[in-house]
Structure 1
Amino acid sequence: MKIVDMRGKLPVHPQKRYQERPLNSIYYIAIHHSLTDNIPGGSDVEAFARYHVETNDWPGIGYHYVIDADGTVYKCNSATTKSYHVGKHNRFSLGVCLVGDFSNYPPTDIQYQATKELIQQLINAYGVTVDNVLGHSEFEGYKWKKCPCINMDKLRRDLT
């Protein structure tokens, strides 16, 4: 799995900054999909950051990690960053976004493999249980949202 560190290289808000949190406050890993087609070469990460800053008026990109269709993992925020990606659960979760619209097609095999590898690393690093690896729509208050449109039960089984 190839990880590219994008921290400090992405667009950020001119005045706003995300709050920090202790590592022992991380209990969940939130899985998202971008609802976009893949733009090769990591351009998605920069586009997401611009959108989050310019349209949403957020301090920076909301995800901690973005996984491209080619399996490249982009680290966008430190784990101590309380970014915006799953509402009132931000304080307790790491956000992982897979590039693609999985209501129309599944993740690529290499993307799915990279997702499993990354999540396993995060589980090991932060003591998150497999049962606390949730799709965006599985969080309280987000049942209406079709995100990430992958079989989360299968993903959790694949992690054990």
Structure 2
Amino acid sequence: MAYKFLLSILFVALASHIAESCPNIITRAQWGARPANTAALVTNPPTHVVIHHSATAGCTTQAACMNLVRSFQNFHMDTNGWADIGYNFLIGGDGQIYEGRGWGRTGAHAPSFNNRSIGVCLIGTWTSALPPAAAINAAHALINCGVATNRIRSDYALMGHRQAVATACPGNALFNAIQSWPRFSNNP
């Protein structure tokens, strides 16, 4: 009996530590998302993390970032005809993480990888400049949280969107940078 009690205390302590190590995520409700109906990932936890840029202006305040995230969702749903915003998460220049489709949901961001990946979009155009350090740090924190909570496989492969389809995304500067990030794969 004492053994089970000690295990339960250790489990609670571990869960608390993991929760503390995860970054704050601005929820769909907080940024004003429209209702959506998306499918669960086929491969869960996912085997890949796909990095994107929005190829738009960036944002440095929560209000501006939330406006952009809403505009991306409107474009993806109304113009592209998708079920929701394409990305699982978006990160602003303010260092905040915005929930797109969220954990465990199939995205619409990287053909042939959508049902086995998490799509992370760093808001802005990163062809000749890098995102702010706060955004890059938030991306690392999000990925580390996903691994720690078993929402991303520990042996995941990190890739840029251009490795899935012919595109300039995530921009040359960001693509060059992610090649030094942990678990980057030349051949995902």
Q: Tell me the CA shift for residue 75 of structure 1.
A: 1.2
Instruction: State the alpha-carbon separation in 1 of the partners of residues 183 and 117 from structure 2.
Output: 20
Match of 1:30 in 2: 50
Report the structure, 1 or 2, having the larger strand content. Answer: 1
Q: Alignment length, in residue pairs?
A: 151
Q: 1:10 to 1:54 in 2, by over 3 A?
A: same
Residue 84 of structure 1 pairs with residue 116 of structure 2: no
| Structure 1: gaps of 5 or more residues | none
Match of 1:69 in 2: 93
Q: Show the 5 A alignment for 1:13-28.
A: 17-21=37-41, 24=44, 26-28=46-48
Q: Tell me the CA shift for residue 7 of structure 1.
A: 5.5
Q: CA RMSD in A?
A: 2.2
Segment drifting more, 18-27 vs 29-38: 18-27
Residue 59 of structure 1 pairs with residue 83 of structure 2: yes
Instruction: State the alpha-carbon separation in 2 of the partners of residues 90 and 157 from structure 1.
Output: 19
Match of 1:145 in 2: 167
Residue 11 of structure 1 pairs with residue 37 of structure 2: no
Match of 1:127 in 2: 153
Instruction: State the alpha-carbon separation in 1 of the partners of residues 138 and 39 from structure 2.
Output: 28
Tell me the TM-score normalized by structure 1.
Answer: 0.83
Q: Are the counterparts in 1 of residues 91 and 139 from structure 2 also a CA contact under 8 Å?
A: yes
Q: Tell me the CA shift for residue 152 of structure 1.
A: 1.9
Q: Percent identity?
A: 25
Q: Tell me the CA shift for residue 155 of structure 1.
A: 2.2
| 3-state DSSP of counterpart to 1:114 | helix
Q: Are the counterparts in 2 of residues 66 and 97 from structure 1 also a CA contact under 8 Å?
A: yes
| Structure 2: gaps of 5 or more residues | 1-22
Q: Are the counterparts in 2 of residues 34 and 101 from structure 1 also a CA contact under 8 Å?
A: yes
| 3-state DSSP of counterpart to 1:81 | coil
